[in-house]
Structure 1
């Protein structure tokens, strides 16, 4: 674990894996430090921003982090309904060497965790994807992926909150309100949330 100061009231924690990111995020969240104003996990980093003078308390928490053990933190469960009719569904099935129905079963029966958010507002990178569905991005990204598209790429699965370019393999679509700036919490998903996908006709 490497700590890098970011200005006077923030520290960037650099680690080597998503598991370590989650261990750091969970430990800081579980500590419920009043000094912490923002906690932002990413693929290999966690940014912790505090009120003035709050970094000492954060450092004490970080000194006790054991990457092999995660602090227990209450997590929300979010259910996202999905129509599994994406344009790359057959490609994913072929690459995995399984029937289309098995892709749907694998994806919808797994339990996911939001590792971090990024790329676009409300875009959550979910881990927990079954091994056969861990596939590369498309060779040629699409210039426009429709809002609500559900895709897979590498070890992640995600749903696009709005229409954007993208290279993920699309296996379905959802009508879930993934991002709404008028809500008190605009993004449906937050790091640490537990997510499952529910098959709808």
Structure 2
């Protein structure tokens, strides 16, 4: 059996292994055909062994790539770059505070008290009272007007049914109502009414005839 010395070159080792395999295959064939080993060796050609080539070992090192163990976006630190510190973002400013001014409380203005007047005797207290001043206007009924030339007179019915004739300047009612106008439908007069703030004051009033149906 032919033995080939080992070599450090992988290619040479593979070539030697192929040669050895061919030799073994040839010897196996010769045995099966009854040939001697010497005859086989004589026909076998020995190839020269090439000198081994020294290869410098290569060490793989990944540089300049992002580390998978660091958060994306962080600063990459390599052997050729100085270490840099991450800048801390400034703290957010507090939201503005809305200050609502309270409206000033205004004290309500109190009206000055008005001196209350006490009712006294009416201005015409010394005047003689007329018959129709004994009744209120709501008790009297106006029945119409009578005219004689330029003179007008009104007809007033009392509660007892009696009808009296009145003219301009006369009085009726319980508020010293003086007659100032006589028409076919009503009598207009001026009453003297007491007001606690100003005392006695004049106020218009009317006695209207009922509508006949």
Task: Work out whether the TM-score is over 0.5.
Answer: no
Larger relative contact order, structure 1 or 2 (CA cutoff 8 Å, min sep 6): 1
Greater radius of gyration (CA): 2
Structure richer in strand, relative to its length: 1
TM-score, length-normalised on structure 1? 0.17
TM-score, length-normalised on structure 2? 0.16
